[in-house]
Amino acid sequence: MKKLSVLDAIFLRWNPASGRVVPGAHSPNPSRGRVPPSQSTFGNALAIFVGAALWLVPVPAAHADGGALAGHRHRVIVSTDIGGTDFDDFQSMVHLLLYADVLDIEGLISSPYGAGRKEHILQVIDLYARDYPRLRTHTDRYPPPDALRAITKQGETETAPYAGVRRATEGSDWIVRCARRDDPRPLHVLVWGGIEDLAQALHDAPDILPKLRVYYIGGPNKKWSPDAYHYLATHHPALWLIESNSTYYGWFVGGNQAGDLGAENFAEAHAAGRGALGEFFAHGISFEGRKRSALKMGDTPTVAWLLRGDPAMPFQPGWGGSYVRAWARPYALFDRLTTAADRIEHCGILELALPLGEGAPAQPEARMVIENQSLVGHADAAGAIRFRFCPKEAKIYRYTIRGNVPALEGRTGEITVVPPSLTNALQPDPTRPNWWTDDPTPDLIEGPHRGARTINAWREGFLRDFAARLERCRPTGPDGKPR
C-alpha cells in the first residue's frame, strides 16, 4: 500500500472525482502536489507531530467505511434547536433515534435559538416509544424510551450576551457531567442549534476540553450565536471542533437526487407508513403553518460523521463530509460604521465598537437591525456600544442602528461579505491544531457551498441506509410480514 509522506498527511484531503484521498490538496494548483514550505505555516510542532503520526496511514479505498455502522460505539450528546428556527431538526431527530442502537446517546439538549424547547425532543421520543417494540425485534440495543427521556435536558433559551456566556443550565451542566464520566472514549457533542450550552460548559469546567469532540453546524447557527461562538474561538482555541459553515449543505443540495432519492420524493417513498416515526416524518411535521415533508436534515451530517468514516480524522472521506485545518478564524473590528468597501469573510465575526458621541443617555441602548436580526448592543467602559454580527451569505449586507443614542439613531452602514479563498487553507492556524472547517477547493463546491460535495457524493448510500432504518418501523401483520 502506498504510504503518505508527512507533508501529504498534513495536507491530504478527499477528492470525490477520483474517490480517493489525495495529498497536497491545499495547493491552489493541484498539479504541484503539495504546499511549498514557504507558503504555509504548518511548521508548528503539533502539526508535524500529527503528520508524523499519520505517516503510517494507508490511502483509504474509494468508500467510507468504519464508524458506528461497523461496530465502533461512540458517546454522543446532541444539542438541538428543535422546534425553533427550522423544521428540519425534527427530521434529524427521527433519523438519530433510528440509529440509537449503534450510538451511546448520553444527552439530548434543547438549545437556542427560537421557541424550541425540551418538550419538542420529548415529542419525538414519544413517537419512538410507539415504534420501540418493533425496533426491538431488530436488535435489543435500542435504548428504552424512558432512558432517552431521562437524558433529555433543557439548555439555554436565549442567545448569549456580549460575554458569550451567562449562566449554567441543565443542559450545560449535563455536558460537564457526561464529559467527566470515567470513560476512556471521547464525548462527541453534535451542535444542531445555538452553541451557548457548550460555551457555558467549557466556561464552567474548562477541564473537560480534552474529552470533547465537537461537530458544529455553523452557518445559520453561528449567525444566531455570534457571541457564544466568539467566546469559544477566543477562550478555547485548543478545542477539537469541526466548524461546518457550508459543507453541511451537501446533505440536501446536489448528489444523486433521482427518483425516490429526490428531496420531494423521499418521505413519501420511504417514510410514509413506516410506523409512528415514519408517518411523522412524512406527514406530521408542520412549521410556520405549513406541512414540511421535503427532505432537508441540515444538521444530520453530524450524526453521519459517526456512522460512516473515522471521526478522529475529519480530513478523510465519510458520510459527514471532509474538512481541512482551520485558518485564523475570521474576525474584523471597526470603530465606525462600515461601508460596502469594508469586507469580512463569509461566516466571520464582524464587530462594531461605535462611539456613543455627544448627548448619550446614562443608560445607552441600541440595536443593530440587519435583515431578520435585531442585535442588542453592549455598552462598554470605553464609551462605545458594541455589536457582533455573523453573515451567513456572501453578499452586501445593509444595517441600521436604532435606540436611544442620538449620535447613532437611524445611522446606516454596509458590509461586503466575501467567500474564503484557497489561500486561507494554506495557512492553518497553529493555535488551533484541532479546529477544522470547510475545504475551499473548487471541485468540492456545490453551487456556493464549499465542501458540500464531500457529503453529497454519499447521498445514495446514506439515504438507502436511512430508508432501511425507517423500514424497521413498518407495522407487521399477524403473519409477521410487513403490511
Residues in touch with Ca ion (CB under 5 A): 81, 89, 192-193, 299
Q: How many beta carbons lie within 10 A of that of residue 278, not counting itself?
A: 26
- Contact between 257 and 266 (Cβ < 8 Å): no
Q: Is the dihedral of CA 372, 237, 199, 235 positive or negative?
A: negative
Of 8 and 299, the one with the shorter C-beta distance to Ca ion is 299
Residue type, 215: Y
Cell numbers standing for residue 418: 466575501
Residue 305, Cβ neighbours under 10 Å: how many? 27
Q: Please state the closest distance from residue 84 (CB atom) to Ca ion, in A.
A: 7
Residue closer to Ca ion, measured from CB, 299 or 345: 299
Q: Hey, what's the cell of 284?
A: 406530521
Minimum distance from residue 99 beta carbon to Ca ion (Å) = 18
Helix (H, G, I), strand (E, B) or coil at 125: helix
Closest CA to 373 of 385, 353, 389, 384: 389
Cell representation of residue 373: 436580526
- Helix, strand or coil, per DSSP, at residue 141: coil
Residue facing Ca ion at closest CB distance: 192
Q: Least Å distance between CB 483 and Ca ion?
A: 33
Q: How far is the CB of 86 from Ca ion (least distance, A)?
A: 5
By beta-carbon proximity to Ca ion, the closer residue of 24 and 220 is 220
Which residue's entry shows cell 455598552? 379
* Cis status, amide bond into 397, omega within 30 of 0: no
For 48, the grid coordinates are 508535524
Q: Shortest distance, CB of residue 362 to Ca ion, whole angstroms?
A: 39
The contacts of residue 482 (CB under 8 Å, 6+ apart) are: 471, 474, 475, 476
For residues 261 and 462, what is the distance between their CA atoms, to the nearest angstrom? 10
Structural contact between residues 47 and 433, judged by C-beta atoms closer than 8 angstroms: yes
Question: Which candidate, 413, 366, 404, 364, places its Cα nearest to that of 387?
Answer: 366
Q: How far is the CB of 81 from Ca ion (least distance, A)?
A: 5
Q: Which is nearer to Ca ion, 29 or 372 (CB)?
A: 372
Nearest-approach distance from CB 231 to Ca ion, in angstroms: 20
Contact 450, 257 (CB under 8 A): no
Specify whether the CB–CB gap between 189 and 257 falls below 8 A: no
The DSSP bridge partners found for residue 449 are 446
- Of 222 and 386, the one with the shorter C-beta distance to Ca ion is 222
What number of other Cβ atoms are within 10 A of residue 68's Cβ?
A: 22
Nearer to Ca ion, 89 or 345 (CB): 89
DSSP string, 287-341: ETTEE--S---TTTHHHHHHHSS-TT-TTS--TT--EEE-BSPPEEEESS---TT
- Across-strand partners of 379? 385
* Residue pair 113/224 in contact by the 8 Å Cβ criterion: yes
